[in-house]
Chains A and B, each alone.
Chain A
Amino acid sequence: MKKNNPEEDSLLIHRAQKGDTGAFNFLMTKYYPRVYASLFAFTKSKEDSEDLAQQTFIKVWKKINSFRGDSAFFTWVYRIAINLAKNHVVSSNYKKDKINISSDAIEMDFASHANPETDLMHSQSLFKVRSFINSLPETLRTAFTLRESDGLSYEEIALITDTPIGTVRSRIFRAREGVLEFISQESTNEK
């Protein structure tokens, strides 16, 4: 499972704290799927998850100056999201049977939660993508999976693969482009 690096977004966060909405929009776009996923795991409702995700990012924007970097940014955003979800559950007489695990367990193990896309996607699509990643040239596949699945920094990947950081950056980019191209082709084929 991808680890959360507290330093990962520090420059963007610092900018957002100074009122840079472009930096904030970047962070919001980056984390929206994960926030939505966490909320969906909690609420089991697409509509509630969308509403709560919106509220989460409004609150994140308002409170971003209180983020001190003690934890990873996503961990902090996640706490806001789940607190909103808890309040929502209390305030809306939410049916408890919609929640599949206790809220405490969620906070302790949020990273293992299912993604909302699990409800929407066919598992075959994901398996196809994973198969495609496995078919990438070894150098691209290694850099990409060390980053995406293991959450390693470029420097760590460079050390492991004995490659310059610039090359790591390029390989990860090329792998991403390849995956997006594959998805686009799959989409065209299905139409």
Chain B
Amino acid sequence: MKNNDINEKLSALYDGELDEAEINSVLDALSSDESLQKKLSHYALMSSALNINEGNVQPIKPKNRFNSNFWFSNGITAAASVLLTIVFINFDTINFSRLGPDNEAANRLNLAINSKAINFSRLGPDNEAANRLNLAINSKEAKDIASLSEENLVDHVLKVINNPEFMSSNNSDIDLRNVGFNTKGQSNSQYIKGKESFRLRLEKKNLGINKVRYWKHGNKMIYLVPLADGRVLTLYGNLNSKSAIEIAEVIDK
């Protein structure tokens, strides 16, 4: 009964007909209920498909790839949009680009991997993300596994990029002077050492990651570092990977 109620609310929200007071419950449920997310995707596909002009529907000969079920093939494509978005952030050639080779940092990272619970293994091209994307498009099961954690990352990274206050909203006076960074600003939210400057944020939840993820946005870097105690450290600013490691090591102690 309760399930039906939330499903009916989803349908009403899809039509823009839900009261403001009821929206929260649907959005909350959506954030954690994958079947509800899938249902929303299917509603969207249904609308899109039903509004095709019949004259535009081209009878095509069955292709093995799509013959089994176009609905779910496209459901995956649409539902994987969130996943596609995060991969876009990883690979976009306009505003975002991958880190270049950094051998010294790589060596430091390998040492860190061997000596710490932090896993800094993602220095190379993000082949895993690319593979996951391909699997997500071609496999329903893979999509089911991948989409939720990637969706959380999309949310987080977009907040980091678009909302400066987000990055200084839970900084609890972490002292980084032993790695050469001093604080700046009234709220002590910015750390500076020479040309390097960044803001940091600690999440109590792990955002579904167990490896370091990093992106370049303009001339700034975003590092997401899972810590041994389950928290996730976000670093955003002009910061190289070597410094990011040092900072993570200090906070992880």
Contacts and interface: CB of A to CB of B under 8 A. Distances in A.
A96 interface: no
Given A37-B48, A115-B52, A23 B27 contact: yes
Interface in B44-88: 44-53, 56-60, 62, 66-74, 77-79, 81-82, 84-85, 88
Nearest to A174: B8
A69 interface: no
Contacts of A34: 44, 47-48
Contacts, number: 194
B20 A125 contact: no
B66 A21 contact: no
Interface in A1-55: 1-2, 5, 7-12, 15, 19-23, 25-26, 28-34, 36-37, 50-51, 53-55
Contacts of B39: 180
B49 A191 contact: no
A107 interface: no
B28 to A, nearest CB: 8
Nearest to A5: B16
B168 to A, nearest CB: 15
Contacts of B15: 8, 147, 153-154, 172
Q: Is the interface of B mostly helix, strand, loop or mixed?
A: helix
Nearest to A180: B42
Contact of B74 (A51, A120, A153): A120
Interface in A108-159: 112-126, 129-130, 133, 147-149, 153-154
Most chain-A Cβ atoms within 10 A of its Cβ — which of B12, B79, B155? B12
A117 B31 contact: no
A183 interface: yes
A34 B49 CA distance: 9
A66 interface: no
A114 B49 CA distance: 9
Nearest to B49: A117
B242 interface: no
Interface string A84-124: 00000000000000000000000000001111111111111
Contact of A55 (B28, B71, B82, B88): B88
B162 interface: yes
A61 interface: yes
A119 B82 contact: no
B44 A32 contact: yes
A21 B159 contact: yes
Contacts of B78: 29, 32-33, 36
Interface string A165-187: 00001101100110110010011
Given A54-B88, A57-B81, A179-B46, A120 B73 contact: yes
A37 B30 CA distance: 24
B50 to A, nearest CB: 5
Contacts of B20: 11
B70 to A, nearest CB: 4
B11 A26 contact: no
B53 A29 contact: no
- Please give me the 9 A-B residue pairs with the lowest Cβ-Cβ distance, nearest first: A8-B16, A114-B56, A33-B48, A121-B70, A173-B11, A22-B27, A54-B88, A21-B155, A173-B8
Given A23-B23, A170-B8, A179-B46, 6 more contacts: A50-B84, A58-B85, A120-B73, A169-B17, A173-B11, A183-B42
Interface of B: 7-8, 11-18, 20, 23, 27-28, 30-31, 37, 39-53, 56-60, 62, 66-74, 77-79, 81-82, 84-85, 88-89, 92, 94, 151, 154-155, 158-159, 162-163
25 contacts: A22-B27, A22-B31, A23-B23, A23-B27, A25-B82, A25-B154, A28-B81, A29-B37, A37-B48, A54-B84, A58-B92, A112-B53, A118-B57, A119-B58, A120-B66, A121-B66, A129-B50, A148-B51, A154-B15, A154-B17, A172-B15, A177-B7, A186-B69, A190-B68, A191-B68
